[in-house]
Structure 1
Amino acid sequence: MRWQALSSTDAKLEVMAKSRSVQAPFTLVVGGDAFLNAQCMHDLRNAACANRPDAELIELDASDCDAYAFDEAVGPSLLSESSIVVMTHLERADDRLGAAMEAYCKQNNGNGEQASLVICQHEGGQKGKRLLDKLVKAGADRQNIPDLKKFDAKINFVYAMMERNGRRIEAAAAQQLVNVLGDDTGELAAMCNQLCFDFDENPIGLDTANTYLTANPQVTGFLVADRAVEGRTADAIIAMRSAVEQGISPIALIGALALKLRMIAKAAAIKSGSISQAEAKASPWQIRAASRQLSGWTSQGLGRCIEALADADEQSKSSGGDPVFALESAIELLGVKGRQAR
């Protein structure tokens, strides 16, 4: 399988067939998200082994590999006429090893069927960039891995994972997965696979996704915040108290509530023209969702709610305070959009 960014402006990921033939004698897997980088290396190695079952698999680390060890690895041996050499940490290769690799790449460019295959992993960055450029000039196939830093790129990664399993997922469920697990692509991929394995529904909905996420404080915080903003104050307080009884810290819930208010404040600022969407540093989906919840909010109301959450945060961090009561008061104020009682 190969992950590939479709363009600089399009964060979608294309999932290539697992059985992709590895024809180039020399392949470079460069940078990007660490999980996708490792996944691409894994899939290329498996494809190479499947295409050349008689070849010897040799794994090397450029950190402690020298030119002689590389030449030995790519040359014929008693076990096989050719080999599959998997090299990690290419950015740490010394000059002599780099020169040996460049010479091999030049010599075997175009001889994919006869030559030993070399698959190299580079973590990205400037270190080792000159060697990368030399190897590409010598004929190596460079595969740049996307970094998945943007929210929309992570959403598209979830869609791609579901497609890989022959499944679909609702937008709200995909967004929830990214909200909670988006900082760890490996966990995000594992959750997508687990949901597809455990549930038959297609598309997978938000309630199903939350089945495995309810123990996460951020999910509970989003749930509490959504119910409060919708005016379902009693439901929000019940959900909050239930979470606290299950061991979720009030501070974690306060953080999720504060994030909800910040998004509403950013949506209001964009609507008024005070800031641009780029300056808000939030995904278009987050701004759209917050914009739908703007009705009834005022600057004063937002300010009061933020102050109430700050008070709850202080109560949580000081001895003798009552953080649950302070959090409940903040939820009640949020439920009426910060309006003061008359």
Structure 2
Amino acid sequence: MAPSAQLHLVLGEEELLIERAVSSIVAEVRAGGAGDNLPVTRLRAGDVSAAELAEMLSPSLFAEDRVIVLEAAAEAGKDAVALVQEVADEPPEGVVLVVLHTGGGRAKALAPALQKANARVHDCQKVTKPAERVDFVRGEFRALGVRVAADVVAAVIEAVGNNLRELAAACSQLAADTGGKIDIAAVRRYYSGKAEVSGFEIADLAVAGDRAGAMEALRWASLRGLHPVLLADALADSVHTIARVGSAGNGDPFRLAGQLGLAPFKVKKAQAQVRGWNPETISAALQVVATLNADVKGASANADYAVERAVEQVLELRSRRR
């Protein structure tokens, strides 16, 4: 076994990606001849002594392959760190060491040391940017052998939310239920309940000036029990996006997406929405959502009423755009 295949650094904090990385490493070792009986031991760096770790990482008497997964390595003690670095320089025969590290912590220096030792790095950083979520969903569909349009990817994210585990499950379920023929109608059909109460539909209708549609969607959301904070966040997100895109001026959505840290589909949608606004009404709408944020977090005695009033105010501002 090549040394680089014996040493792996799983770097980041995104749990789903970490699980997948570890699973792929174990599957690779098994496929390499270790078989299904491959021993896999998981240890937390803070719960195991240096002596116990040394025993685990020492060469096997019978040279049997095994995988050692060291979790929470960022919190490892000085002795454990020294031992891992020693093993990294010359991995024992048959031992595959998988180090899970956040990139910070008291053992922060361990991650770059393992990279210097030519560990195979698995990037599992938190997915926080909209563009990264778009890439993730597109990648999920691609892995399932399904090609979807950009607006379908956007619809899935708006309907399901930002949790990667839920997004992955939704992609898998949609691919299975539709036979791979996925359009926006299919997303709405299978996730209509969640999409209706996500808050994004209400926000889009409000900033577009669709009073009847926005108020009907808001009442459905209230009946289904969507928390006012989520509604407030969705409305604030739409208004802030319009403000940012509007101030950036016209331009290619893909170029602006990189400058603004937004997904291209979101920039394109905001460019269409901003035509109904001007700097004065956008400024006023920003004040409305700022007040709403405080209201739903305790400043108002009735958070549901505060949300309804804010939606009404945004609709009113949109109606006097000129």
Secondary structure, aligned partner of 2:275? coil
CA contact (8 A) 2:75 2:105 kept: no
Deviation at residue 289 of structure 1 after TM alignment: 1.5
Distance 2:302 2:122 in 1: 55
Distance 1:48 1:121 in 2: 17
Spell out, residue by residue over 1:274-301, the C-alpha distance to the aligned partner (whole angstroms, 9 max, x if none): xx98885544442321111222422344
CA contact (8 A) 2:59 2:94 kept: no
Distance 1:22 1:104 in 2: 11
Aligned counterpart for 1:210 among listed residues 188, 191, 196: 188
Deviation at residue 164 of structure 1 after TM alignment: 1.0
Equivalent residue letter for 1:85 = I
Aligned counterpart for 1:187 among listed residues 154, 166, 182: 166
Partner of 2:241: 263
Secondary structure, aligned partner of 1:198? helix
Partner of 2:270: 290
Partner of 1:10: none
Partner of 1:27: 8
* 1:236 partnered with 2:214: yes
Deviation at residue 249 of structure 1 after TM alignment: 4.7
Deviation at residue 22 of structure 1 after TM alignment: 9.7
Percent identity at matched positions?
24
TM-score, length-normalised on structure 2? 0.77
Bigger mean CA deviation after superposition, 171-180 or 185-194: 171-180
Aligned counterpart for 2:54 among listed residues 71, 92, 95: 71
Deviation at residue 156 of structure 1 after TM alignment: 0.7
Deviation at residue 27 of structure 1 after TM alignment: 1.6
Secondary structure, aligned partner of 2:213? helix
What is the aligned residue count? 312
Backbone CA RMSD of aligned residues? 3.8
Distance 1:80 1:320, change over 3 A: closer
Aligned counterpart for 2:19 among listed residues 25, 29, 38: 38
Distance 1:151 1:78, change over 3 A: same
Equivalent residue letter for 1:259 = D
Distance 2:268 2:300 in 1: 33
Distance 1:106 1:325 in 2: 62
Deviation at residue 160 of structure 1 after TM alignment: 0.7
Distance 1:235 1:295, change over 3 A: same
TM-score, length-normalised on structure 1? 0.73
The unaligned stretches of length 5 or more in structure 1 are 1-20
Deviation at residue 322 of structure 1 after TM alignment: 5.1
Runs of 4+ in 1 over 6 A off after TM superposition: 276-279, 307-313
Distance 1:228 1:39 in 2: 40
Distance 1:116 1:133 in 2: 21
CA contact (8 A) 1:227 1:236 kept: yes
CA contact (8 A) 1:87 1:121 kept: yes
The unaligned stretches of length 5 or more in structure 2 are none
CA contact (8 A) 2:151 2:265 kept: no
Distance 1:31 1:268 in 2: 34
Distance 1:47 1:39 in 2: 12
Partner of 1:200: 179
Answer 1 or 2: which has greater helix percent.
2
Q: Where do 1:17-166 residues align within 5 Å?
A: 24-31=5-12, 33-51=14-32, 52-53=34-35, 55-75=38-58, 81-108=64-91, 114-125=93-104, 127-166=106-145
Equivalent residue letter for 1:64 = D
Bigger mean CA deviation after superposition, 306-315 or 21-30: 306-315
Spell out, residue by residue over 1:109-130, the C-alpha distance to the aligned partner (whole angstroms, 9 max, x if none): 8xxxx43222221122253233
Aligned counterpart for 2:148 among listed residues 158, 169, 181: 169
Secondary structure, aligned partner of 2:90? helix
CA contact (8 A) 1:30 1:121 kept: yes
